[in-house]
Amino acid sequence: MSKLRFLMAIIVGKISAFLLQKIFKRGTNTPGAIMLKICPDTLSYFIMPETIICITGTNGKTGTSNLLTHIIQNSGKTVVNNSKGSNMDTGLASALVTKCTLDGKITADVAILEVDERSSQYIYTKFVPNYILCTNLFRDSIKRNGHSGFIFDKINDYLNEKTTLVLNGNDGISGLLGEDVCERVFFSVNKTEKSTDSCVDTVCDLIACPKCHHKLDYEFYHYNHIGVPFCTHCGFKMPESSFFASDVDFNKGTFVFNDNRGEKLVLPFQKGNFFNVFNITGACAVCRLMDIDIDIIANSIEDLSSKTGRFQENEYNDIKVISMLSKNQNPISCSQSFKYLSSTDDEKDVVLLITDSKDKKHGHEDISWLYDTDFKPLNMESVNTIYIGGSRCFDVANCLEIKGINTSKIVLFENYDELAIEISEKNVTGRNIIIYFELYATNIVKKIKKAMSQKEDK
């Protein structure tokens, strides 16, 4: 009966995926949701490819997953991934059904699957990944994720001994995953010119030793609790990294990737986006574990460095418009994104679309995360105007005032259409516009750019 249910799920899933692609021109998790209704064990019945890579963690999952897909495809292998759907079980089922036969055999060489941390029990119990890359673990949406320790357990409790974990050696939280269970390989980033002796960010999620609970010390901090932790009481420290980034040049936007075989690569990263160094290093570590040629890795990263949709540059009437996706409900993601402002002294206006742009049918929007976010870069002299959009614009403005941001710079718009018109009409030639937006505000960013382009055409 279960096999028959699975066959029915495959057929219905393929039909619904085809129709939705034709109608909406994009992927959704709807086919997977239907499949799991028909056959709850759908993910167990897929005949998976020889290599399965899962990417999880609080921040950087999507970018790392896309980078891995690009490199592995360039190595000549075919890939199935869930880049067009969600990272929960329904999204994975939706992705897999598009590349499988009627008996559920995946036709790709490699499966690269972004996995929501809280979905671990519904995914890792259905199939065993060869590799799980965990980018990091931070505080995230309080309503959904509680705290980083809670999410750690959600992942750790469902790991399989046959899986190799690729872990962030600068993260004393996620770096403890799979102890005494899995083979573990670490990647890290060496001390840089911007590393600090104390935590200068608003929050630090690891201040007590995870082993003895005494006060934890750090050789240095990169940001928040990411750095080199150690305990003088019990001797705790992170394992040595097999793969690491060194010689980070913030002016050039380059760093050196060092692998476990003594090979070195000079690689690019987006200026002002230091966290991308971790994402790239982690992706490269997985690729080298898979024996992908180092030249293929280098060429792929060079080729992809300017194509990411999460960081885009456009120009209208000599005005550069930079849009950056900043994860909603996530103070670390937003704080790191704001540091981009410090990478240039150019005159700039900032647009904040970081609170929910869509009304939720159930529940309410928690705004406590705003007070964990580091908004200091908004006080730079080069920032002229701060536009805040959406129904929560007054909450954001109140938070900025409490944090000492110059309120004379702030302009509020509850209506997104009015915001787009205002920005297009008040822009100044030679001044950059930097837009920070949450995932569901993509269409609002498009409205702003459309208004800018229409003015350019006049």
Per-residue pLDDT reduced to its tens digit, 276-291: 999 999 999 999 999 9
Angle 375-383-447 (CA atoms, 0-180°, nearest 5)? Answer: 90
> Whole-model pTM above 0.85?
yes
What is the predicted pLDDT for the residue at 83? 87
Residues 398-416 pLDDT 10s: 999 999 999 999 999 999 9
In 10-109 the beta strands, taken as DSSP E runs, fall at 51-56, 79-81
The torsion angles phi and psi of 47, rounded to 5 degrees, stand at -90, 100
pLDDT at residue 300 greater than cutoff 70: yes
**Rounded distance between C-alpha atoms, residue 287 and residue 294, angstroms:** 9
- Burial code (b: 16+ CB inside 10 Å, e: under 16) for 307-327 equals ebebbbeeebeebbbbbbbbb
Q: Which of 220-234, 277-291, 297-311 shows the lowest per-residue confidence on average (mean pLDDT)?
A: 297-311
Name the more confident of 14 and 273: 14
Q: Which of 90-94, 202-206, 253-257 shows the lowest per-residue confidence on average (mean pLDDT)?
A: 202-206
Name the more confident of 329 and 354: 354
Give the single-character DSSP code of 59. Answer: S
What angle do the packed helices 30-38 and 89-97 form, to 10 degrees?
100
HSE value, Cβ hemisphere, 13 Å, CA-based, for 306: 5
What is the predicted pLDDT for the residue at 259? 94
What is the predicted pLDDT for the residue at 140? 84
48-304 adopts what CATH topology? UDP-N-acetylmuramoyl-L-alanine:D-glutamate ligase (3.40.1190)
Yes or no: say if 83 and 66 are a contact pair by the CB < 8 Å rule: yes
Beta strands 254-258 and 243-249 are antiparallel
**Rounded distance between C-alpha atoms, residue 392 and residue 205, angstroms:** 26
Kindly list the distances between the CA atom of residue 91 and the CA atoms of 43, 57, 58, 123, 363, in Å, as whole numbers in the listed order.
Answer: 11, 17, 18, 11, 23
Yes or no: say if 457 and 422 are a contact pair by the CB < 8 Å rule: no
Name the more confident of 289 and 139: 289
Reduced to 3 states (helix: H, G, I; strand: E, B; else coil), residue 95 is: helix
- pLDDT tier, 25 (very low <50, low <70, confident <90, very high otherwise): low
Angle 97-100-105 (CA atoms, 0-180°, nearest 5)? Answer: 125
**Helix or strand holding residue 384 (H, E):** strand 383-389
**Helix or strand holding residue 34 (H, E):** helix 30-38
pLDDT at residue 17 greater than cutoff 80: yes
Can you tell me the mean pLDDT for 117-131? 96
**Rounded distance between C-alpha atoms, residue 131 and residue 163, angstroms:** 6
Can you tell me the mean pLDDT for 86-94? 95
Q: Select from 399, 384, 387, 383 the least CA-distant residue to 436.
A: 387
pLDDT at residue 202 greater than cutoff 60: yes
Amino acid identity of residue 189, one-letter, is V
Kindly list the distances between the CA atom of residue 238 and the CA atoms of 173, 177, 228, 263, in Å, as whole numbers in the listed order.
Answer: 10, 12, 7, 23
Tally Cβ neighbours within 10 Å of residue 26: 9
**Rounded distance between C-alpha atoms, residue 168 and residue 416, angstroms:** 39
What is the predicted pLDDT for the residue at 201? 84
**Domain ranges across the chain:** 48-304, 312-457
**Rounded distance between C-alpha atoms, residue 352 and residue 330, angstroms:** 14
pLDDT at residue 127 greater than cutoff 70: yes
Q: Select from 258, 333, 58 the least CA-distant residue to 174.
A: 58
What's the mean pLDDT when you consider all of the chain? 91
The encoded tokens of residue 267 equal 């690689």
- pLDDT tier, 309 (very low <50, low <70, confident <90, very high otherwise): low
**Rounded distance between C-alpha atoms, residue 195 and residue 199, angstroms:** 9
Give the single-character DSSP code of 441. Answer: G
The encoded tokens of residue 236 equal 């705790």
Percent of the chain topping pLDDT 70: 95
Residues 151-175 pLDDT 10s: 999 999 999 999 999 999 999 999 9
- pLDDT tier, 457 (very low <50, low <70, confident <90, very high otherwise): low
Q: Which of 226-235, 282-291, 430-439 shows the lowest per-residue confidence on average (mean pLDDT)?
A: 430-439
Q: Select from 102, 107, 99, 90 the least CA-distant residue to 4.
A: 102
Yes or no: say if 56 and 86 are a contact pair by the CB < 8 Å rule: no
Residues 65-84 pLDDT 10s: 999 999 999 999 999 999 87
Assess if CATH 2.60.120.650 describes domain 312-457: no
Amino acid identity of residue 411, one-letter, is V
